[in-house]
Structure 1
Amino acid sequence: MDDTMKDRPDPERITVTDDRLIPVVAALTNLTESWKVQLSKSAVSLPMAVQIGKRLNRDQQRALLEFWEDARLPDKYMSRVLHAFARNMPEWAVHQVIRIFRLTEKIKASVVMLNDWMERFDALYEQFEHEFWEREWPGAEEELESYLDRLEAEFQVLYRQASDEKKSYNRHYGDSSSDSARDSARPAGPSRGPVSFSTLIGAADDASPKELKHRYRTLMKKLHPDHGGSAYLFDWVKQAHDNYMQGKSSF
């Protein structure tokens, strides 16, 4: 090898001097070859790959990859699964945790328009999330199993009760079809009175325009599908608002 070749930098070696990048490079270097393949295929995002390399040892990474390939969960659950494996939760517990998270999404869709139930759900869900992320759950498997079973049962009871309440709500304010939902916001025949826009959004009948506007915007944020809400309920309330505004402009 001549002197010219010796002076050339190795294309496979890169010197990183930025303090912000050093932990990133170290995390990616710590990835197993299988996760590096997943990253090269864009099957896993770069930020998630960094977290995997940063938080998991090699054995944990292999276990996570097997779980991930078998379960094929949506990306929104990946950070939770990663956190569970980082704290060495058994696989059965990880499956149950994800099942509870999925259950909470169904509950939220059921209670989002029922203010009292939403408060109960928020309180239980906030405790669930806090204890999960702060690692406040029992470490022993028997105690963990008992804890998760009790937690899931509490959510199941809340879901059943909220679903019954929602059915009762729909019987008063509209059925399950989108046409009936839209009709419920308009004046009806003599056998059924119209549902006012203020009642639909949980405001008092004598609420001010400012209060109605605030209530409407707050509710729409909760209902928006991008935030985990219900597209059906979002469209329903929006249609009611449009009808309400048209009625005001006609005077």
Structure 2
Amino acid sequence: MRKGIFAVMLVAILGYSSLAFGQTSARKATAADSAASRTRLAKYAARELLRKSVAEVSWEEDTFETVIDWLNDLGNDQVNIVPKWGQLANEGVDVDSPVTLKLRNTTVAKVFNEIIEQLSEEGRITYHAIDNNLEIATKQYFDRKLYRRVYDVSDLLFQAPDMGRSAPTVDLEQASRAGGQGGGGSGQSIFGGGGSSSSEDLTEEGQEVEERLEALRTLIQDTISPESWDRGEVGGGGLSRIRMYGQRNIVVLAPIEIHEEIAGFFVHD
């Protein structure tokens, strides 16, 4: 009888403990999911702000500060609007810089692009949407901020193998003889030639990959902000660098603008 009572008590205790543990685990999982969701939203918050639809804006000799306040309101406390006033002052832009603009049925990005063009007709002022920050500064300021990324470019380097030297051949006469011998066959393969690549072939293949990597590097440097790259030239070139890493990767040290030209939307690690 005692054993029965003890067993019932043990089950009751363990059952309750397991239930409590399950509830605790569920709460932890929910909290973790919520934190992960907030992190994902933060990474795209500034971009989402720029994509927002705008029914109408109408500013007549207003100030740049008015535009900043407008962006803050649209960001709903999810996006940090960060003007680098020290940098902007170098281009004659401050909170009181005049702004005149009327647009309908547009987006935040298009509105802000028009504002930036008004403030800097020569294109020396720009902005970057990174995670939940919208930073506004000079192009020179952003060009000095370099980020390192490793890109797997193996798909771009793929080349169909040359089957001329290594492809097996079919011996039709051998196949005919094997077919007339009944079960068991002759034990000889109807395929001839082929086989594994020689060390010389592998060396040539490695050299070809290096050549394609070098060609890819040259293509990137020649087509994406050519003046921004450090090509080892004395007294010239920019700060950005690109080098090969192994036989399938390139390492790029460059401003965000260049990374986005290479691989699209940039997200901090």
TM-score norm. by structure 2 comes to 0.20
TM-score norm. by structure 1 comes to 0.21
| Larger helix fraction of residues | 1
The answer to which structure, 1 or 2, has the higher relative contact order (CA under 8 A, 6+ apart) is 2
| Larger strand fraction of residues | 2
